[in-house]
Amino acid sequence: MKVCVIGLGYIGLPTAALLANRGYDVHGVDIQKHVVDTINKGKIHIVEPDLDTFVQAAVKSGKLKADIKPAEADVFIIAVPTPFHKSGYDIPTPNIDYVISATKSIAPYVKEGNLVILESTSPVGTTQKVEGVLKESGIDTQKIYIAHCPERVLPGKIMTELVENDRIVGGLTKEATEKVSEFYKTFVNGEILKTDAKTAELCKLTENSFRDVNIAFANELSIICDKYGIDVWELRELANHHPRVNILYPGVGVGGHCIAVDPWFIVSDNKEEAKLIKSAREVNNYKTEWVIEKIKNEALKFEIENKRKPKIACMGLAFKPDIDDLRESPALYITKRLINEGMDVLAVEPNVEKFEEFKLYNYKEAIDKSDIIVFLVGHKEFKTLKINDKKRVLDFCGVKS
Ligand SMILES: NC(=O)c1ccc[n+]([C@@H]2O[C@H](COP(=O)([O-])OP(=O)(O)OC[C@H]3O[C@@H](n4cnc5c(N)ncnc54)[C@H](O)[C@@H]3O)[C@@H](O)[C@H]2O)c1
């Protein structure tokens, strides 16, 4: 069987490489020529453990070829980005332009009996729109099988989770759900959960909104605790001894390209109904602003007492601990804001070697040279650091608790 994978990023490339190693003939497509060229050399353009081995083996065996154009296949998998339009103070709205243009690009190659699978995280109704685009291109969509199969892998563990995670398959018809489920069964060890396309779309958005709402609760609590002079980490620990309470960790906001993005796909379509989900997004965004104000106040106090501006160590830039991913990262946003407002900042990110926008410091050097140490991300390196009592410490991620 031949599979055409559209979009060779964090999701598409691991999927293409896995399928090729399982014996499928894979035609990978990406609009970026350097991505195509890198893969055809058996190399990778993204950081993900074990992916290089899979890609190298797949390309060497001739089972994986990358191209800037699609080709005829039995199965088409769409794994292109689904960001949102940032539109000032309005509610961000989903941008499904990449999905639509990927669908248009495969239309000339789709024929009777093919499977067309949308893996991109999508607002409710997108799979139906994929069908609409194919219909407009003259394809009899009664004779093909279209389904949404959302991806839930965790970066850093993608090669394992692609096989082991349970998968949801939501077809536009029952036959599509069945056919696409049979395809996933050939390489997934997890359970295949069958539903319809709309439920599958909302399920993925629900999972990430659930996380966002729960993190918002922890973040709101941290602000309330600060007002009372209560240690939120101790409070959380105590409350979680209740057998039915499980409060998550507060932090400096919510980042990454999933949890900070996907809830808006529900809110933008349900302005009246999605009150809690919207509030959670606002609470998590507000937490980032609150952290900036806290740091600025501490800097001002230092300046008044010492008649000079403090040096501030910003510890961690990634969107969560122990990764190098800076996408939608509130820690990076905070650090940039402080630098742009003229603060003397020593930025630290042990998981990133080089950063183009400003200098990165070794964490020990930053701690030695700074007056105020701000922990933004709970990286493992920071947990055991010894800090001189004379330094002022602001710990927003509980790494020192
Ligand atoms: N990365 C994750 O951990 C993760 C997890 C779950 C779900 N998702 C979802 O999967 C989807 C893909 O995410 P990603 O992280 O792989 O994105 P990515 O940005 O890493 O990769 C997408 C690739 O698609 C290519 N592309 C864009 N338009 C194209 C087109 N018309 N034809 C061919 N290629 C095209 C881009 O050049 C890029 O290389 C998104 O909807 C995302 O929300 C991602």
Question: Ligand 1: which residue has its CA nearest to atom 20?
Answer: 9
CATH topology of domain 215-395: Rossmann fold (3.40.50)
pLDDT at 156: 85
Q: Which of 250, 223, 252 is nearest to 236 (CA)?
A: 250
Q: Which of 63, 60, 42 is nearest to 51 (CA)?
A: 42
Question: Which two three-digit tokens encode residue 354?
Answer: 């080089």
Q: Which of 77, 139, 78, 148 is nearest to 113 (CA)?
A: 139
Query: 147: part of which helix (H) or strand (E)?
Result: strand 145-148
Q: How many CB atoms lie within 10 A of CB 360?
A: 17
Residue 89 clears pLDDT 60, i.e. is over it: no
Chain mean pLDDT for the chain: 96
pTM over 0.85: yes
Taking residues 270-279, report their average pLDDT: 96
Taking residues 4-14, report their average pLDDT: 97
What ligand 1 atom has the least distance to the C-alpha of 6? 33
Question: pLDDT digits over 121-172, tens only?
Answer: 999 999 999 999 999 999 999 999 999 999 999 888 999 999 999 999 999 9
Give the position of tokens 């789709």. 110
pLDDT at 75: 98
∠ CA 197-203-208, rounded to 5°? 140
- 213/281 Cα distance (integer angstroms): 8
- 367/344 Cα distance (integer angstroms): 13
Q: Where are the beta strands (DSSP E) in 292-398?
A: 311-315, 344-348, 372-375, 392-395
CB 18 within 8 A of CB 189: no
- C-alpha to C-alpha distances, 166 to 81, 187, 194, 375, nearest whole angstrom: 22, 12, 11, 35
Strands 93-94 and 84-85: antiparallel
Whether 204 is catalytic is yes
- 338/309 Cα distance (integer angstroms): 13
CATH 3.40.50.720 in the chain, residue ranges: 2-198, 215-395
Residues 149, 258, 314, 397: which is the catalytic one? 258
86-90, 164-168, 292-296: the lowest-pLDDT one: 86-90
Question: Ligand 1: which residue has its CA nearest to atom 24?
Answer: 7
CB 344 within 8 A of CB 284: no
pLDDT at 88: 59
The CA R_g of the chain, rounded to the nearest whole Å, is 24
Give the residue ranges of DSSP H helices in 22-157. 33-40, 51-60, 97-106, 126-136
Residue 352 clears pLDDT 60, i.e. is over it: yes
CB 393 within 8 A of CB 373: yes
Mutate to test the pocket of ligand 1, among 5, 29, 30 (most ligand atoms within 8 A of CB): 30
What ligand 1 atom has the least distance to the C-alpha of 68? 33
Question: pLDDT digits over 299-327, tens only?
Answer: 999 999 999 999 999 999 999 998 888 98
In this structure, the chain runs to a length of 401
The per-residue DSSP string of 114-136 comes to -EEEE-S---TTHHHHHHHHHHH
Question: Ligand 1: which residue has its CA nearest to atom 7?
Answer: 151
Whether 397 is catalytic is no
CATH topology of domain 2-198: Rossmann fold (3.40.50)
